[in-house]
Amino acid sequence: EMEVTASDPDKDADQEALRYSLHGQGAESEFIIDEVTGKIYAQRTLDREERAVWRFVVLATDEGGEGLTGFTDVIINVWDINDNAPVFTCAPSCHGDVAENSVVGTSVMEMTATDLDDSAVGQNAVLSYRIVGSLDGLFTIDQSGVLSVAKSLDREKIPQHHLVVIATDHGIPPLAGSATVQLSLLDVNDNGPEFEAAYSPVVFENVAGPQVVRLNQTSTLLRAMDRDSPENGPPFHFTIPSDYRYSNDFYLQDNLNGTATLTALRMFDRERQKEFLIPVIMSDSGRPAKTVTSTLTVTIGDQNDHAHGAGEKKIFINSHRGEKEGRSASVYPQKLKYAFKLF
């Protein structure tokens, strides 16, 4: 509410009172003036975000005599109050990607929030940012809304992270807006192939070679797996080092379809060597490829190929002989020797 007052030097007690009216810039739809008192009222709640300044003209008309008119310019500034919460441009859900090998401090994305309150007046549009729902602290956000890596990431442990970012203005009372952030980790080839199962191959002695080695109870095929994404995984390639010392004993065939076959080339004697350690070199199809070496332990199975022979066993027995009960207890140990022949 405001009041405009006009005076007329020609006015005397017999003259009619002044009448007020307002005009210009659509003010008639927003404001109303009491034509007798000159008081101006807003017809509805004003919104500074729609229009911050109103300029119009108020006319004062002398309805007596010749009906002379005077005018004045009226300027109304709409004060800002904190009636708008921050809003994220990507709300309600924001999406981003980050490589799993990103170093600490790498910028992931900029969380842009806006506040319709007047940024040039007061603190109603000054924003602060924070993350909730990220108990592991893998990410951080600064006061300009830049989301960054705070700790080492591993796609093979957690491929996606879900965060909630809160933007709060500095108005009184403060208002807040939120957005859910889904971050997908981009895979890098940081894991090499592994044996698909815990293989325990057995080759029985006294069997002429060559013979395909059974790697478990159901298969003769060596298979691998990779914890990386498919583009950094199969197909896998297998080989044995060229300087492998038992290359005349075993041969590893890469089947070029992601599997390999192991062949025992000769007859074995468990009493000479019970097991062989075979280094298997495996490579994935990543760019660049990741190559690792895993050891395959081949056990030589025993057969009953040695007869029993005669043997001897010496047994020593301690015997104690004392006096009769009631007499002095003197003990005389005596060692007796017996020999048994075993068949």
> Each residue of 196-238: pLDDT tens digit?
999 999 999 999 989 999 998 889 999 999 999 999 999 999 9
Span 194-301 CATH architecture: Sandwich (2.60)
Give residue 79's pLDDT.
82
> Each residue of 115-130: pLDDT tens digit?
988 776 778 889 999 9
87-186 and 194-301 in the same fold: yes
Helix (H) or strand (E) holding 207: none
Q: Where are the domains of the chain?
A: 2-77, 87-186, 194-301, 311-342
Cross-strand bridge partners of residue 98 = 185
List CB contacts of 317: < 8 A, sequence separation 6 or more: 335, 336, 338
- Mean pLDDT, residues 94-107: 95
Pick the CATH number of 87-186 from 2.60.40.60, 2.40.10.330, 1.10.357.10, 3.30.70.600: 2.60.40.60
- Alpha-carbon Rg for the chain in angstroms: 47
Query: Of all residues in the chain, what percent are helix, strand and coil, respectively (each to 5)?
Result: 0, 45, 55
Lowest mean pLDDT among 21-30, 87-96, 214-223, 308-317: 308-317
Report the candidate in 151, 163, 280, 139 with the shortest Cα–Cα distance to residue 215: 280
Per the CATH hierarchy, to which homologous superfamily does domain 2-77 belong? Answer: Cadherins (2.60.40.60)
Q: How far apart are CA 54 and CA 302, in angstroms?
A: 102
pTM above 0.75, yes or no: no
Q: How far apart are CA 211 and CA 204, in angstroms?
A: 10
Q: How far apart are CA 203 and CA 205, in angstroms?
A: 7
Report the candidate in 56, 40, 132, 121 with the shortest Cα–Cα distance to residue 84: 121
> Each residue of 128-148: pLDDT tens digit?
999 987 668 899 999 999 999
Q: How far apart are CA 59 and CA 2, in angstroms?
A: 15
Contact 336, 319 (CB under 8 A): yes
Lowest mean pLDDT among 32-36, 138-142, 145-149, 336-340: 336-340
Give residue 329's pLDDT.
46
Q: Assign 29 to helix, strand or coil.
A: helix
Average pLDDT over the chain reads 85
Give residue 15's pLDDT.
46
- Mean pLDDT, residues 90-94: 86
